[in-house]
Amino acid sequence: MNENDEAVVLMRIILTGGGTGGHIYPALAVAERLQECHPECEILYVGTDRGLEKEIVPKRNIPFRTIRAEGLPRKLTPALLKAVKNTAGGCLEARDIVKSFQPDVVIGTGGYVCGPVVLAAKLQGIPTMIHEQNAFPGITNKLLARFVDCIMVNFEESKKYFVHKERIAVTGLPVRQEVLSAEKTASLAYFGFSEDKTTLLVSGGSRGARSLNRAMVDAYPELLKYPDLQIIHLTGKTDYEDTMTALVEKGIDVAQYPQLVIKSYLDEMQYGLKAADFCVGRAGATFLAEVTACGLPGILIPYPYAAENHQEYNAKALVEQNAASMILDKDLTGDSLCRSILSLYQDSENRKQMEAQSYAMGKRDALDEIVRLVEKQCAK
C-alpha cells in the first residue's frame, strides 16, 4: 500500500457476558450498533454452553464460541474442586480464543464467563472494558474492575464500589430504539385505551412475579372502582392462568372492565411503556433503564432473591432521586399496593414531579456513548 491509499481500519471486538438476559442483551445491543456504525467490524461473542447466551446469540447471526466457566462454591467440597478444574480449563480456552481472534478490545457485560476472557485479554496486552448494569456491582465485575481500562456503569451510585474512579464512565444501559421511538397515541390505541385517562403498567418481567400478581388480585376490588384508571397488567407466562383463576374466585369478570387489560406477556413492550403514566414492577436494570428513558414514575418491588440483593440497590437509586417509591416484597400486600397506586393516581402534581425526575435519570444516548468509548479503546 502506498501512502496515498486510504487505509481501512478493521475493528475486531470480543463481547462476553452470560447467564441471564440482563448480561446478554446489553452486549447484543452494543454489537448491533457497532455493526451499524462500522459495517466492516468483526465481532465474536464468547459465552458458556449452559447459559441463555447459547440460545440467544446464534439467532442474531453473531459468531459464538464457548468456554467452561462457573461460580466457585464457598465451602471446601467436591463441587468446589470440580469448579476450580473447570475454571482453570476455561482460562486456557479463553487464552486460545483471544490469541486466535486478536481483538482490538474485549468487552465484558457481567456473569462468570467474563472473568477468564477479560483476564486473557489483559494478559495479552489487549484493551479491556466492562459494563455494570446494577447499582450494586456483581462479584465478577468488582474483581475485573481492578485492572480493566474502562469501567462503564449504569448507575451513578455504583461508582463508590470501584477503586479506580478515574476509569469510570456513567453511560447508562442501552435501551431498544423501538422503546424510544414509540408514540403515546398509537400505544394507547394498541390497548383500546383513551388519552383522557390515566394509565398504569404492571409488570413482573417475562417470568412474572407471583407475589406482585397476588397483591394486584387482592387490590382489584378497590382499583376497579376507578373507571378512569386504565391498567395494563402483564402477569408473566408462568403465572397467567393462576392469576386469572384467582380473579374468577374473587368474582371479577375481566371482560366487564374495559379499563383493564391482562396479558401473560407483551412482545411489543414499547407500547406498554409509552401508553403508561406510571408503573409497578420489579427493579431489574433493564426495566429501570426503559422506565427512566420514558420518564415513568414507578412503584418498585425489588425481587428479594436477586444476587447480592442488587434490585433493592437499584430501586433505592430511583427512590433517592424521587423518581420512584418502593415496597419491599416482605411488606407487599393487596392493601399496601392499592394505597400506593391510588396515591400516585390521585396526586397528579406529585406524579408530574416524579415523572420529571425519572426522565432526568434516563440515559437515552447510552448506546452511542458506549460505542464512542469502544472506538476510543480501539484507537489506542
Q: What is the largest CA-CA distance in the chain?
A: 81
Distances (CA, A) of 80 to 72, 76, 93, 114: 6, 6, 20, 19
Rg of the chain, C-alpha, whole Å: 22
pLDDT given at position 189: 98
Is the Cα dihedral 151, 155, 156, 157 positive or negative? negative
pLDDT given at position 22: 82
Q: Looking at residues 8-26, what average pLDDT do you find?
A: 85
Q: Which of 3-12, 186-195, 203-212, 365-374 has the lowest mean pLDDT?
A: 3-12
pLDDT given at position 192: 97
Q: Looking at residues 347-353, what average pLDDT do you find?
A: 97
Q: How confident is residue 339, by pLDDT bands cut at 50, 70 and 90? A: very high
pLDDT given at position 4: 43
pLDDT at residue 8 tops 70: no
For 351, residues 6+ apart whose C-beta sits below 8 A from its C-beta are 277, 278, 297, 344, 345
- Per residue in 29-57, pLDDT (tens digit) is 999 999 999 999 999 999 998 888 998 99
- Per residue in 85-126, pLDDT (tens digit) is 667 888 999 999 999 999 999 999 998 899 999 999 999 999
Q: How confident is residue 20, by pLDDT bands cut at 50, 70 and 90? A: confident
Element (H or E) spanning 317, and its range? helix 310-319
pLDDT given at position 5: 41
- Per residue in 295-307, pLDDT (tens digit) is 999 999 999 998 8
Long-range contacts of 317-321 (CB under 8 A, 24+ apart): 317/135, 317/155, 317/156, 317/157, 318/283, 318/288, 318/292, 318/358, 318/361, 320/157, 321/357, 321/360, 321/361
d(CA 299, CA 327): 7
Average pLDDT, the chain: 92
Q: Looking at residues 342-360, what average pLDDT do you find?
A: 97
pLDDT at residue 324 tops 90: yes
The domains located in the chain, with CATH, are 12-175+364-378 (3.40.50.2000), 178-361 (3.40.50.2000)
In the block, residue with C-alpha cell 406498554: 272
- Per residue in 212-264, pLDDT (tens digit) is 999 999 999 999 999 999 999 999 988 999 999 999 999 999 999 999 999 99
- Per residue in 165-213, pLDDT (tens digit) is 999 999 999 888 889 999 999 999 999 999 999 999 999 876 669 999 9
pLDDT given at position 207: 65
d(CA 281, CA 208): 10
pLDDT at residue 76 tops 60: no
pLDDT at residue 75 tops 90: no
- Are 247 and 220 contacting, i.e. CB atoms less than 8 angstroms apart? yes
Residue count of the chain, please give it: 380
- Are 45 and 57 contacting, i.e. CB atoms less than 8 angstroms apart? yes
CB atoms within 10 A of CB 376: 15
CB atoms within 10 A of CB 224: 16
Q: Which of 20-24, 153-157, 289-293 has the lowest mean pLDDT?
A: 20-24
- Per residue in 257-289, pLDDT (tens digit) is 999 999 998 989 999 999 999 999 999 999 999
DSSP secondary structure of 83-129: HHHHHHHHHHHHHHHHHHH--SEEEE-SSTTHHHHHHHHHHTT--EE
* pTM for the model: 0.87
pLDDT given at position 77: 61
Question: 302: which 3 cell numbers?
Answer: 425489588
- Are 157 and 137 contacting, i.e. CB atoms less than 8 angstroms apart? no
Q: What is the 3-state secondary structure (H, E, C) of 233-290?
A: EECCHHHHHHHHHHHHHCCCCHHHCCCEEEECCCCCHHHHHHHCCEEEECCCHHHHHH
pLDDT given at position 101: 97
Q: Which of 4-8, 56-60, 247-251, 311-315 has the lowest mean pLDDT?
A: 4-8
Question: 58: which 3 cell numbers?
Answer: 446464534
Of the candidates 337, 106, 16, the one whose C-alpha atom is nearest the C-alpha of residue 200 is 337
- Are 132 and 114 contacting, i.e. CB atoms less than 8 angstroms apart? no
- Are 128 and 103 contacting, i.e. CB atoms less than 8 angstroms apart? no
- Are 86 and 115 contacting, i.e. CB atoms less than 8 angstroms apart? no
